[in-house]
Structure 1
Amino acid sequence: MEQQQSAGWQGTGGNMWVEAQELLDQMFQPIEDLLMQALPADTRRLLDVGCGTGATTLAAARRLGPDSHCTGIDISGAVIEAARERTAQARSNACFIQDDVQSHAFEPASYDTIISRFGVMFFDDPVAAFRNLRLAARGNATLRLIAWRSAEDNPFMTTAERSAAALLPQLPVRVPDEPGQFGFADRDRVRTILEHSGWERIVIEPLDVVCSFPEKELLRYITRMGPVGRLLQTVDDHTRQQVASTARAAFEPFVHGDEVRYTAACWDIRAGASDQH
């Protein structure tokens, strides 16, 4: 599974995130805002896990100022390249690492804040990943993650695949607890992962956030993102048009004039490192 996740993010998955960078940043802007508002003011070294094209890393660097050191890490070369380009354009001091969090050789006890916006649900061995992050954390460091709750709690995120299932029989079925978008849906499992990784003061609370993006971007979202978007790159034009039309109709309840609105049903996950390893 780890190899599948890595291959996916190195290939189609990573490229799609780069192509849809502006749309995705807009879709998840309220999540970024929540993370930024909660940053400890005394943060000097921050790590952004599964940073994608760098929006949250750059936002943290802006918020914490020039004396801070903000680093993003992601397994996808495509998104890290995009993040570095954005950083150069913004003249930011943020920096980025392309590597697997599960095995990256972090400098021990080097970060006082670790954050993630939807970037931690894809690990093949999440205990190994969070143990590695714990080793990278300084004493009394804080961990703050936003992850999706279940597919059932997020009807917007599953509308495309539910509406297209009959037209795309090869669409993969989501399996509970497998690495992927809803890999952290089970709160008890997430708590166990963090406890076994050495984290303390664990708090996991439901968080519902209203998000939006322009209606004119909806068709691109349907045909380029998620399991349906990935699969549509491999089918014939007729099937692609059928799926797009069927899925667009299914999204109608979320369309309000020129805006698409939905609720992101998440877990707000907080934990801390003890003052000793």
Structure 2
Amino acid sequence: MEASNPADTDFVKFWNAVLAPKFAKYRHILQGGLSRHSAAVLPALPIEKGMSVLDVGCGWGDMSLQVAGRVGPAGRVVGIDCVDAFLAEARKDAAAMGLTNVQFVRGDAEIALPENEFDYVVARFGTMFFTNPVAALRRMRLALKPGGGMTHIVWRRREDNPAWQEAKTIALRYLPPPGENADSCGPGPFSMGNQETAGTMMKSAGFQDVTFTRVDEKIMIGTTPDECIAFALAIGPGGEVFREAGEQLAEARRPEIERDMRSYFESLERDGKGIWAPTSSWVISGRNPG
């Protein structure tokens, strides 16, 4: 599969210029937390040696690398993402591991994917950000061979992921909500949290035998309360409110926001590694007809 080099839409520009550096800073939190959800799912997926697998929104490629080990030298894995910095790290890690059956390419599942090429498609916490989710899911289905399967992991509802929602609630005590034209990562992390809505998207995209499995995992959101606060103000729903308020207003209200966030984060479970928050995801699977 060759890179499609998607046009730098505002969405792609925002991810590369604004979010990618913040994600890199907190990679240890993000990758560690997300991998706890995929680790609960990946071993049970019907991925076998010799298969060809597409990982959509592959990020730093850690799941792609795990799948590459599953399919073996006779199989192949393609990781696709629109963020250059993520892909650079993924390629570096693949080279360090000596894996030759995995390829990382720049692309956008909403714009173009090859058709009838893969046995299985996976995606971890990426499909929620599609601006046109049904179109992207349809492209993912068409990338499958007839009868091929797809599994993606998405966050459940806000109330099922209280740490992310509480950070936003606290920020909104002191700052205005982002406007309609605010720069954002797309529809948002909870856009597929409603089972009925997500199921309709899957069926509209042409998937059959759609199933939902709930996964609950505690993930580390920072090693200390200070890191939890910094993380919450950089990434996620609370970070969006803080960023879009503008530097002058946000910094003026920072002391009160940090005070309230500290009180909340100190109330969560803590051990020698860090502070842990309950999180919940849907594992959504479907099959391409044929």
Q: After the TM superposition, which parts of structure 1 deviate over 6 Å for at least 4 consecutive aligned residues?
A: none
TM-score using structure 1 length: 0.87
Q: Which moved more, 1:48-57 or 1:79-88?
A: 79-88
String of CA shifts for 1:46-79, please: whole Å, max 9, x gaps: 1111111112111211333232211111222232
| Alignment-derived partner of residue 5 in structure 2 | none
What is the CA–CA distance in structure 2 between the aligned matches of 1:60 and 1:155, rounded to whole Å? 31
CA gap of 1:240–1:90, structure 2 versus 1, over 3 A, is: farther
Q: Which moved more, 1:45-54 or 1:65-74?
A: 65-74
Which of the numbers 224, 238, 241 marks the counterpart of 1:228?
A: 238
Q: Describe how 1:129-168 pairs up with structure 2 within 5 A.
A: 129-168=136-175
Q: Describe how 1:205-220 pairs up with structure 2 within 5 A.
A: 205-212=213-220, 215-216=223-224, 217-220=227-230
Which of the numbers 191, 201, 211 marks the counterpart of 1:193?
A: 201
Q: Describe how 1:245-256 pairs up with structure 2 within 5 A.
A: 245-256=259-270
TM-score using structure 2 length: 0.83
What is the CA–CA distance in structure 1 between the aligned matches of 2:158 and 2:228, rounded to whole Å? 19
Asked if the contact 2:129–2:188 (Cα under 8 Å) also holds between the matched residues in 1, the reply is: yes
Identity among equivalent pairs (%): 25
1:95 aligns with 2:95: no
Which of the numbers 120, 125, 129 marks the counterpart of 1:118?
A: 125
Residue type of the partner of 2:214?
P
String of CA shifts for 1:146-196, please: whole Å, max 9, x gaps: 11111122101212111121222254699xxx7110110221121111112
What is the CA–CA distance in structure 1 between the aligned matches of 2:177 and 2:194, rounded to whole Å? 26
Q: Which moved more, 1:37-46 or 1:228-237?
A: 228-237
1:36 aligns with 2:18: no
1:47 aligns with 2:54: yes
String of CA shifts for 1:193-212, please: whole Å, max 9, x gaps: 11121111111233322323
SS of the equivalent of 1:132 reads helix
Residue type of the partner of 2:202?
L
Identify unmatched segments of 5+ residues in structure 2.
1-7
Residue type of the partner of 1:74?
D
| Alignment-derived partner of residue 257 in structure 1 | 271
Residue type of the partner of 2:127?
V
Residue type of the partner of 2:265?
F
Question: Over aligned residue pairs, what C-alpha RMSD do you find?
Answer: 2.5
CA gap of 1:42–1:62, structure 2 versus 1, over 3 A, is: closer
SS of the equivalent of 1:102 reads coil
Which of the numbers 91, 96, 113 marks the counterpart of 1:84?
A: 91
What is the CA–CA distance in structure 2 between the aligned matches of 1:10 and 1:152, rounded to whole Å? 29
SS of the equivalent of 1:52 reads coil
Asked if the contact 2:141–2:150 (Cα under 8 Å) also holds between the matched residues in 1, the reply is: no
Identify unmatched segments of 5+ residues in structure 1.
none
Which of the numbers 11, 14, 17 marks the counterpart of 1:5?
A: 11
Across the two proteins, how many residue pairs are aligned to each other?
A: 270
Residue type of the partner of 1:224?
A
Asked if the contact 1:80–1:96 (Cα under 8 Å) also holds between the matched residues in 2, the reply is: yes
String of CA shifts for 1:61-119, please: whole Å, max 9, x gaps: 1333232211111222232222222222333232112121011141x211111111111
What is the CA–CA distance in structure 1 between the aligned matches of 2:70 and 2:26, rounded to whole Å? 24
